[in-house]
């Protein structure tokens, strides 16, 4: 406890102007740890010390998976990116919930839920829906005090032919989840690989249901992206890219989602956040909260406090009294 207190004093930064209430949840600041770092929920009471306002564990699946063939991670420092190919590596929902039973959270914690992966997956679409439902049922029945759930439909590193990128298939999944009467807010982790029309088609489905919001977005697949340095990419194995290569498309889709659905959906921005300016741009485009991993990996855990401190300075510069006031300031929100 004392070590955590010391770390918190050295690294974290608190300011009431960063406080907000989103989907009925009170956040001390808008910077959160994305799913994909603490996938078994082993760092829950350590990470608040570095200044995160919230974190998501997982992605957790109903059954365990030991991960895709190694290497599952790689650094592309010149591209400011990570090659990611874990494929939902985790210990399985039942064991993770059992390990967290009785743990008291010091900050806002959510859980990301996805389809069980396998190296030679033969799971059908119907079986995938039932697999996801089983995981949600276990979370619902568990006493572990998660504040929210994420539904990850967008991991590009899974085996098999299951997809929720087709509107009818996403609708079938959300209809089934709705019948569970989950009382926690649910956020959907979106792909950034679809076209504007493809993204809009999925959002049109999502707003039909009691979904709190969307996370925009997941990993980038385009190896010809100009943000990627060719000499680094040629050395890479299988996987998709986080960090700066994901930033541009993430920002474009945040603007799109906020302009068309900002009155119905909360948006969490994810992709390429290294600095306060990166986070603030997403917020002004329409994101109410921010998630990151790669920025912390490259800049170090002290960067979380630096980002929060920088956000306050940006709010002061622009004359905003609270971070809520800056949400969507750069985007025209339509009436829908």
Each of the 336 residues of the chain gets a pLDDT tens digit; together they read 544 544 554 566 899 999 999 999 999 999 999 999 999 999 998 887 789 999 999 999 999 999 999 989 999 999 999 999 999 999 999 999 999 999 999 899 999 999 999 877 789 999 999 999 999 999 999 999 999 999 999 998 898 899 999 999 999 999 999 999 999 999 999 999 999 999 999 999 999 999 999 999 999 999 999 999 999 999 988 999 999 999 999 999 999 999 999 999 999 999 999 999 999 999 999 999 999 999 999 999 999 999 999 999 999 999 999 999 999 999 988 855
pTM, two decimals, is 0.95
The predicted structure's pLDDT at residue 3: 47
List the chain domain ranges.
2-326
The predicted structure's pLDDT at residue 157: 86
Q: Which segments of the chain are extended strands (E)? A: 20-22, 25-27, 31-33, 54-61, 73-76, 81-84, 108-114, 148-152, 186-190, 213-216, 240-241, 266-270, 289-292
What fold is seen in the domain 2-326?
A: TIM Barrel (3.20.20)
């Amino acid at each position: 406890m004392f070590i955590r207190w010391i770390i918190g004093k050295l690294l974290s930064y608190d300011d009431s102007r960063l406080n907000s209430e989103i989907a009925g949840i009170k956040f001390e600041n808008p910077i959160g740890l994305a799913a994909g770092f603490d996938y078994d929920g082993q760092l829950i009471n350590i990470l608040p010390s570095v200044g995160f306002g919230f974190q998501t564990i997982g992605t957790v699946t109903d059954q365990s998976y030991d991960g895709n063939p190694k290497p599952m991670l790689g650094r592309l420092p010149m591209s400011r990116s990570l090659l990611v190919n874990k494929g939902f590596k985790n210990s399985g929902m039942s064991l993770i919930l059992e390990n967290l039973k009785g743990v008291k959270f010091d900050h806002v914690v959510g859980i990301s839920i996805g389809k069980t992966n396998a190296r030679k997956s033969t799971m059908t679409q119907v079986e995938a829906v039932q697999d996801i439902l089983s995981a949600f049922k276990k979370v619902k029945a568990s006493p572990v005090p998660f504040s929210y759930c994420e539904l990850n439909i967008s991991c590009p590193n899974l085996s098999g032919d299951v997809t929720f990128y087709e509107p009818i298939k996403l609708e079938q999944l959300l209809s089934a989840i709705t019948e569970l009467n989950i009382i926690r807010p649910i956020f959907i982790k979106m792909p950034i690989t679809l076209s504007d029309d493809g993204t809009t088609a999925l959002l049109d489905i999502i707003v039909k249901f009691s979904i709190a919001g969307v996370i925009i977005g997941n990993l980038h697949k385009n190896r010809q992206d100009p943000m990627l340095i060719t000499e680094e990419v040629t050395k890479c194995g299988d996987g998709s890219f986080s960090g700066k290569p994901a930033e541009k498309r993430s920002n474009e889709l945040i603007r799109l989602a906020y302009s068309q659905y900002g009155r119905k959906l909360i948006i969490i921005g994810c992709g390429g956040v290294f600095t306060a300016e990166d986070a603030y741009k997403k917020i002004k485009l329409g994101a109410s909260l921010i998630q990151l991993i790669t920025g912390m990996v490259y800049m170090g855990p002290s960067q979380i406090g630096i980002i929060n401190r920088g956000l306050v300075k940006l709010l002061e510069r622009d004359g905003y009294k609270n971070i809520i006031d800056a949400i969507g300031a750069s985007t025209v929100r339509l009436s829908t």
